[in-house]
Amino acid sequence: MEKDKKNKKRKYAKSNNINLDEIPSSNLKMKYFKKKRAQKRLKNTISKTHTFIKIVSIIFLLWLSSRLMICHFWYLPQNTFETYPNIHLRIIGNTITPQDKIIASLKTIPIEKRPIYLINTVPYEEEIEKLSSVKKAFVRRYWLPARFEVTIEEEIPIITISPNPNAPEIAALTAEGKIITKDYLPFNASKYKTYKILTYDDFSTWTSKEILSLKILAQRIEDFSQEKLLYLDIRNQNDVYAQLETIKVRIGELNSTLKQRIERLSSIMPQIENLKNSTDYVDLRWDNTTYLKKKSHNKINTTPKENSLNKNEIHESNKVKIKTSNTQKTKEKILKKNKSDTNPDFGVPKSSTNNNKQEPPPIELNIEIVEP
């Protein structure tokens, strides 16, 4: 029995980290054990208190989070799309597309009475992308305050369509052949460079290749003439005109020699600088000859001495000298600039109008002034 008691004491002392040698063997032994028990109870009480505080803190944080999730700051006002601008809606990236059309598209979808992070923005994006000038739309959600940020990626127009020079544009076309309706015209000239095309044809059937061909043709005319192109008239594709800032150019038929005929503008434009006011148009219809058509109110009797001239000769008519030699350096410089154009044939759309036959030139000179 005594051995058992000693073993129990040793186990108790070992479990409580008590050195038996330090315990007095007198009546102080009972006080010592009471003190140890009191320290153990205090330690347990402190531990339970910490656990209780942790549980209460977690419950409070969960409650606070739930209240924040349903706070009114998360909700879009129902009148967000009624007026613009406001702090709950921002529209960026739109140059062609009017803001009222974007807002009208947003109004078609009612605002859900739920926190903004639960609102699905895809229907808003799809509705905006139905506009003919919008290529892609992105709607982002923000908090404090709850708001939408609408980012617009627009189509890039390259040509505009008009039935005649004085009429406003009725549509615009992108490189992919998408039609931008007249509701979005005119464009901001500083943002998009477009070329005005005169035609009576159904432009909705034009392919991407045909549209790009018209753009390349217009670019070449500007590059070789060094003037801005006001419009390109293809209403009769066997007799095409290009109106520059100071003079009109009669290009003629869009055939395989078109590229070479346009390149002659680089040498012609400097020579007729003083004749622009009295000239109706420059005629480039012929492969080896260029004509200047005089205006009707300036009638001049032209009597050339010879029926043909060499390229380095000077033809004198009405006391105006026109040198016919080509400025090769200017031509090479422009050709180098347009080296990236890989479509030499200019496959423009086929016209559905009746084409008139060309009349032969009166005299085959390299450059000739012809009276009206």
288 within domain boundaries: yes
Same-domain status, 119 and 164: no
Per-residue pLDDT, 210:
93
Domain finish residue from 154, 170, 194: 154
Same-domain status, 349 and 250: yes
188 within domain boundaries: yes
Per-residue pLDDT, 274:
84
Look at residue 229 and tell me whether its pLDDT is greater than 80. yes
Average pLDDT, the chain: 79
Tokens of 149: 């940020």
Same-domain status, 98 and 168: no
Same-domain status, 198 and 285: yes
pLDDT digits 0-9 by tens, 111-121: 998 888 889 99
Q: What is the domain-level CATH number for residue 108?
A: 3.10.20.310
| Residue that is written with structure tokens 């347009």 in the block | 338
Same-domain status, 101 and 233: no
24 within domain boundaries: no
pLDDT digits 0-9 by tens, 194-227: 999 999 999 999 999 999 999 999 999 999 999 9
Q: What is the mean pLDDT of residues 155-178?
A: 93
Per-residue pLDDT, 132:
92
51 within domain boundaries: no
Tokens of 73: 């700051």
pLDDT digits 0-9 by tens, 241-284: 999 999 999 999 988 899 999 999 998 888 888 888 888 899 99
Same-domain status, 222 and 193: yes
Domain finish residue from 154, 180, 200: 154
Same-domain status, 121 and 215: no
Q: What is the domain-level CATH number for residue 339?
A: 3.40.50.11690
Same-domain status, 143 and 231: no
Per-residue pLDDT, 47:
92
Same-domain status, 315 and 327: yes
Look at residue 193 and tell me whether its pLDDT is greater than 60. yes
Q: What is the mean pLDDT of residues 143-163?
A: 92
2 within domain boundaries: no
Same-domain status, 126 and 166: no
31 within domain boundaries: no
181 within domain boundaries: yes
Same-domain status, 300 and 201: yes
> What is the domain count for the chain?
2
Same-domain status, 138 and 185: no
225 within domain boundaries: yes
Which residues, 6+ apart, have CB-to-CB distance to 96 below 8 Å? 133, 154, 155, 157, 180, 184, 187, 188, 192
How sure is the predictor about 69, in pLDDT bands with cuts at 50, 70 and 90?
confident
Domain finish residue from 154, 169, 202: 154
How sure is the predictor about 342, in pLDDT bands with cuts at 50, 70 and 90?
very low
Q: Which residues pair with 368 in a beta bridge?
A: 291
Its domain, for residue 336, covers 158-370
